[in-house]
Every structure is written in C-alpha cells, then in structure tokens.
C-alpha cells in the first residue's frame, strides 16, 4: 500500500474543505472497498479524509412522505430499519443479499453506491484495463467475460456495477444529495449518477472531485409486492451473476430493474409498461440493445427466466 | 440533518501530517480499548486494525486469511458489532471498544461459545475458529436485535434462531476444513438447543 496522510473530520463542510486543501485526497467511509483497492495499489490516494463520523447516520421522514437516508447509515442498519422493512422492503432484501454480516456492519450507503467493479482484470494490475489505466486496453473483452456487461458497454470497457442495494434504489426512484467544496448542494437521480463507459471508463459517476454524498432520498412508498432475486455461484457471500428487483402491484403493473448486466442498475420505463404482458415482453425491451460475449450470452435467457419466476412468485 | 446547514465551516482535526524531511511514512495517534485494556498507539496510517492487534499488541488469536474481506478469519467485535479487521484502518477506531477471541475467554475460563465449539468439534485445523467464534457470538445478538437476513421469510417479523438462519448469517466465515455442520451445532447449543 502507498503511504498516505490521514485526517478525521466532523462535518460535511469540513470534509469538502479538507479536500480543497489536499487535491488527490479521497473520502473513506466503511473502507471495505477503498482499503481493499489501496492494498492492491489500484487506488493510491496521498491523503484520506475519514468521513465516517459526520453525523450523517440517520433515517428520517421527508416532507413529501418519503425518507432521507444519511450517507453514513450502515448497510446493516438500513436493512434493519422498521420503516425500510415495511415500506421499502426491496432495499432491505437487496442489502441482505449482498456481502456478509461483517461487511454490512461497516459498509455505508454512500460507499455502497460508489463501490467499484469486481472485473478480475481491473483487480489484476498485470493486465491491461482501460478503467484502471486509461488507454491500456481491455483484457476482458476477449478474455474471461462470464460476469461482464451485456448492456450499455463500450469497446473500451464491459464492466458491471456490483451493488445490489443500488438496483433496489433504482426501482424505487432514489436520488442522491450532495454538497461540493463551495457549499453548493444538488440532488441527482440515481439513474443519472453513473456514467456510461464510452471511451472514458475511468470516469464512473457525474460527481465532481471532492463532491460529498450526504444522503439518499426515496419518494413516498408505492406499496406492492417487493421481490429481489439474486442469481449467484454460491448460495450466499457472492456477487450477482444477474439480479432482478421488482415491485408488482395487484393489477399486474409494476417496475423492474436488473443488476449484474451493465455499468449501472438497468431500468427502462418502457419495460415497466410491458410487465403486465409478462417476462418475455419486458425482457425484450430491457435487453433490446444487448450485446453479449461468447462467455456471458447465458445472461440473456437467465434474465428472462428469473423475471418470469419472480413475476409468478409475486402473483402468489 | 439539513444539507443547507453544511455551509458553516467547522475546524477539522488533522490527525496526521506528512513528514517529508525524515522521509518516514506518515503516522497517526489512535486510542482504543481492547478486551478491557486501554491502548494509545502511534501507527503508520496504513496499519489495519488486524495488523495493529497482531503485530503491535501481540494478540495473535485473530487470524489473517485473505486480507481482503473474503474469508472472515479476522473477525473481531467492535462496539458490539462484528467486522473484518483486515478491511479497516486502525486509525479509524479512535475511542472504540474492541473484543477479540482473547477477550471472550481464555483457557480455564472459556466463553460459552468457545466451550460449545470444543464440545461439538467445531473445528479441525482451528485457523478459522477465532473468527467463527467472534462471528457466532455477534450473530446471536443480531438475531436478538431483530436484524433480518437473506433467509428471513417475513421482513416485518422478528427473526428466530433456526439452522438456515445460522448458516446464512455465518456465510462470511469460510472454513477450509469444512467444519460447518459442527459449527452450527455449537451455535444452536449456545442459543438454547431448540433449532
Ligand atoms: C468479499 C466482499 C464481498 C462483497 N459482496 C457484495 C455483494 O454481494 N453485493 C454488494 O452490493 N456489495 C458487495 N460487496 C461490496 C460492499 O458492499 C462495498 O465494499 C461497500 O458497500 C462499500 O461501502 P464503504 O462504506 O465501505 O465504502 P468505502 O470503501 O469507504 O468507499 C467506497 C468509495 O466511496 C467513496 N465515498 C464513500 N463515502 C462517500 C461520500 N459520502 N461521498 C462521496 N464519496 C464517498 C470513497 O471515496 C470510495 O471511493 C462486497 C465486498 C467484499 C469485500
Ligand atoms: S471490462 Fe473494464 S474494468 Fe474490466 S478489464 Fe475491461 S476496461 Fe478494465
Ligand atoms: S483476513 Fe479478513 S476477511 Fe479474510
Ligand atoms: S477449522 Fe480449519 S479452516 Fe476451519
């Protein structure tokens, strides 16, 4: 690991100001992704700003009947919150399908959204990878691509975003609240947070350097049956091959998003509209522009079959 | 809190400064309590909690398996919660209460979970065992606290101690020797033997 200086801050303003003073610094929250990548020298910040004690650890009602989840709320606490379990069950389900009890006790809401891909070539510093080393090429495209993207990818990068929680939040129309060094705040719809890889896969979100996530907001509950189905290589403690998150209403209408297929949770309003006609119709819209490799083409039928199973389960 | 309130600056605590002149890696001070004993350490900022426990405090009961959050051998209990000590910086634990396997119990005065692992043969080589035991102690507390798991059928109800619940909740602890079924027996025993 490269050496770094360390600073603990106690307010969001102090965090962004610390960043302004030390360009190249990084925020660290639970540390379960950043520290992992620092050990491998994939991330090499010269300065760390500990944002784990900013007081952003509350889950509060909003004036429009929704909730605001503090950026530092731990994954365990979010999954265990009574209101989240009752009104936003999809988020609790997605969280407990991810990582392990130990990791969820440390992982934060903001850190989970900003965790980086698990592409094995991104992790192997001996391999070319445009995301890790821009311009070096992509070892995955002609390589071991079983777990890579089938939608939204580019000739430069076919990595997927690994978060389960983000898939559930996408279904529920979450937005991310931020503050930058100038004290400016903004709210970004989760669908707009992640950038398509294009020719610059190293740029993963629309956040400016030093822009701090302070909260995630959810609109008022939409009711319905919430199901998160994760398909993985072992029954627990493994990342998704694909995952399907749905909220289905009694009349068969609903919403769907996919995990493990692209650089962000994959959702389309036009696919939601097809849900009453069944899995085949909705999948056809979601995966209309899909482009699979020889190794991950299995994901195409897997998405449709998993969605069919989830819709049958929702009918009861 | 309101995001509008953040424009008021408050001073930040600089815990470590670069020491370019001496070309020594930056260090920082951290004070925490391990198994009832207070420690005040000056550490290279890169030191993980795991390395602080093993290399600096010589508490070698906590094991290093993968060093990447993938095996659970390094599990310790911090402020009542189990974490992977390999994926956490020691300097981020200022003021924390840390319990390691040595703090649960020692020979002659074993914690009920340690005793149950002995009775049920919950290990073979023993390398994963300290992490398994710390995890198991915390798992029973998590079920008591009503924290749901992937296999909890009713999200709004209270989870109970069942074998499927224990297997799922213990999945962050890998045992290369495959002592899993005896580990579950030991935990069931401590929980009251009803599962
Ligand atoms: C073995 C293993 C298995 C896992 N399995 C799963 C799984 O199945 N499903 C899943 O979804 N995840 C899984 N994870 C990933 C885990 O969920 C993430 O590591 C975790 O959510 C990251 O949160 P953190 O708080 O620890 O982030 P950190 O590591 O602290 O930070 C991650 C990134 O976010 C940035 N950041 C943090 N907070 C802020 C903020 N407030 N504003 C701006 N930037 C910020 C940091 O600078 C860093 O770039 C697994 C991890 C491991 C190690
Ligand atoms: S898919 Fe993306 S992350 Fe993986 S090797 Fe290619 S460029 Fe790197
Ligand atoms: S050593 Fe920490 S999880 Fe493996
Ligand atoms: S007892 Fe050997 S690894 Fe578990």
Could you report the per-residue pLDDT of A39-68, keeping only the tens digit for each? Answer: 999 999 999 999 999 999 999 999 999 999
pLDDT per residue rounded down to tens, chain A (316 residues): 999 999 999 999 999 999 999 988 999 999 999 999 999 999 999 999 999 999 999 999 999 999 999 999 999 999 999 999 999 999 999 999 999 999 999 999 999 999 999 999 999 999 999 999 999 999 999 999 999 999 999 999 999 999 999 999 999 999 999 999 899 999 999 999 999 999 999 999 999 999 999 999 999 999 999 999 999 999 999 999 999 999 999 999 999 999 999 999 999 999 999 999 999 999 999 999 999 999 999 999 999 999 999 999 999 8
Given a contact cutoff of 8 angstroms between Cβ atoms, the answer to whether A138 and A102 are in contact is: no
**pLDDT for residue B193:** 77
Say which of B13, B89, B150 has its CB closest to residue A96.
Answer: B150
Residue A192 Cα, gap to closest chain B Cα (Å):
20
Check if B144 contacts A (Cβ < 8 Å).
no
pLDDT per residue rounded down to tens, chain B (195 residues): 333 333 333 444 445 555 455 578 999 999 999 999 999 999 999 999 999 999 999 999 999 999 999 999 999 999 999 999 999 999 999 999 999 999 999 999 999 999 999 999 999 999 999 999 999 999 999 999 999 999 999 999 999 999 999 999 999 999 999 999 999 999 999 999 766
Characterise A76 by phi-psi region: left (phi > 0), alpha (psi -120 to 50), beta (else): alpha
Say which of A18, A28, A70 has its CB closest to residue B12.
Answer: A18
Check if B13 contacts A (Cβ < 8 Å).
yes
Spell out which residues of chain A touch residue B4, defining contact as CB-CB under 8 Å: 185
**pLDDT for residue B4:** 38
**pLDDT for residue B20:** 52
Check if B157 contacts A (Cβ < 8 Å).
no
Please spell the DSSP secondary structure of chain B, one letter per residue. Answer: --GGGGGS----EE-----TTTTPPPEEEEEEEETTEEEEEEEETT-BHHHIIIIIS--TTS--SSSSSSS-TTEEEETTEEEEGGGSBGGGGTT-EEE-HHHH-BTTB--HHHHHHHHTT--SS-SSHHHHHHHHHHHHHHHHTT---TT-S-TTS-----HHHHHHHTTTS--TT--HHHHHHHHHHHHTS--
**pLDDT for residue B23:** 73
Binary contact (A28, B83; C-beta < 8 A): no
Residue B124 Cα, gap to closest chain A Cα (Å):
22
Q: Name residue, tokens 């060094």.
A: A181
**pLDDT for residue B8:** 36
Q: How far apart are CA A238 and CA B143, in angstroms?
A: 22
Cα–ligand 1 centroid distance for A28 (angstroms): 9
Characterise A31 by phi-psi region: left (phi > 0), alpha (psi -120 to 50), beta (else): left
**pLDDT for residue A290:** 98
Full-model pTM: 0.95
DSSP 8-class letter at B85 = G
**pLDDT for residue B17:** 53
């Amino acid at each position: 690991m490269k050496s770094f200086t360390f600073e603990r801050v106690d307010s969001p303003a102090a965090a962004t100001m610390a960043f302004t003073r030390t360009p190249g610094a990084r925020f660290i929250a639970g540390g379960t992704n950043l520290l992992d990548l620092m050990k491998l020298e994939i991330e090499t910040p010269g300065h760390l700003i500990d944002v784990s004690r900013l007081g952003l650890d509350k889950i509060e009602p909003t004036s429009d009947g929704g909730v605001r989840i503090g950026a530092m709320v731990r994954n365990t606490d979010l999954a265990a919150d009574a209101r989240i379990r009752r009104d936003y069950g999809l988020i609790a389900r997605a969280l407990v399908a991810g990582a392990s009890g130990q990791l969820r006790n440390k992982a934060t809401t903001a850190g989970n959204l900003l965790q980086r891909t698990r592409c094995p070539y991104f992790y192997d510093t001996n391999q070319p990878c445009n995301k890790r080393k821009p311009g070096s090429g992509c070892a995955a495209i002609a390589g071991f691509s079983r777990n890579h993207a089938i939608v939204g990818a580019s000739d430069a990068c076919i990595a997927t975003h690994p978060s389960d929680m983000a898939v559930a939040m996408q279904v529920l129309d979450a937005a991310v609240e931020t503050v930058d060094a100038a004290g400016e705040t903004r709210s970004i719809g989760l669908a707009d947070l992640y950038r398509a890889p294009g020719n610059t896969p190293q740029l993963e979100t629309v956040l400016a350097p030093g822009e701090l996530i302070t909260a995630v907001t959810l609109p008022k509950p939409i009711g319905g049956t919430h199901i998160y189905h994760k398909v993985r290589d072992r029954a627990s403690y493994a990342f998704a091959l694909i995952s399907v998150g749905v909220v289905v209403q009694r009349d068969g209408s609903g919403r769907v998003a996919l995990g493990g297929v692209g650089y962000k949770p994959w959702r389309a309003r036009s696919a939601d509209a097809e849900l009453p006609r069944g899995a085949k119709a909705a999948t056809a819209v979601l995966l209309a522009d899909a482009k699979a490799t020889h190794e991950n083409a299995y994901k195409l039928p897997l998405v449709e079959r998993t969605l069919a199973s989830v819709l049958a389960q929702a009918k009861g | 809190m309101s995001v509008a309130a953040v424009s008021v600056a408050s001073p930040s605590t600089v815990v470590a400064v670069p020491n370019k002149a001496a070309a020594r890696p930056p260090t920082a001070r951290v004070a925490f309590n391990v198994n009832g004993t207070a420690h005040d350490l000056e550490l290279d900022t890169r030191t993980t909690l795991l390395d602080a426990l093993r290399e600096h405090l010589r508490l070698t009961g906590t094991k290093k398996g993968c060093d990447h959050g993938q095996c659970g051998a390094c599990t310790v209990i911090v402020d009542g919660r189990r974490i992977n000590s390999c994926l956490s910086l020691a300097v981020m634990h200022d003021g924390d209460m840390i319990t390691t396997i040595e703090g649960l119990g020692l020979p002659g005065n074993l914690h009920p979970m340690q005793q149950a692992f002995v009775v049920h043969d919950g290990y073979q080589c023993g390398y994963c065992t300290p992490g398994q035991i710390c995890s198991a102690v915390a798992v029973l507390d998590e079920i008591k606290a009503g924290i749901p798991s992937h296999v909890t059928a009713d999200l709004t109800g209270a989870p109970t101690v069942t074998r499927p619940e224990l297997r799922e909740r213990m999945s962050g602890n890998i045992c290369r020797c495959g002592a899993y079924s005896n580990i579950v027996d030991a935990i069931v025993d401590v929980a009251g033997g009803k599962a």
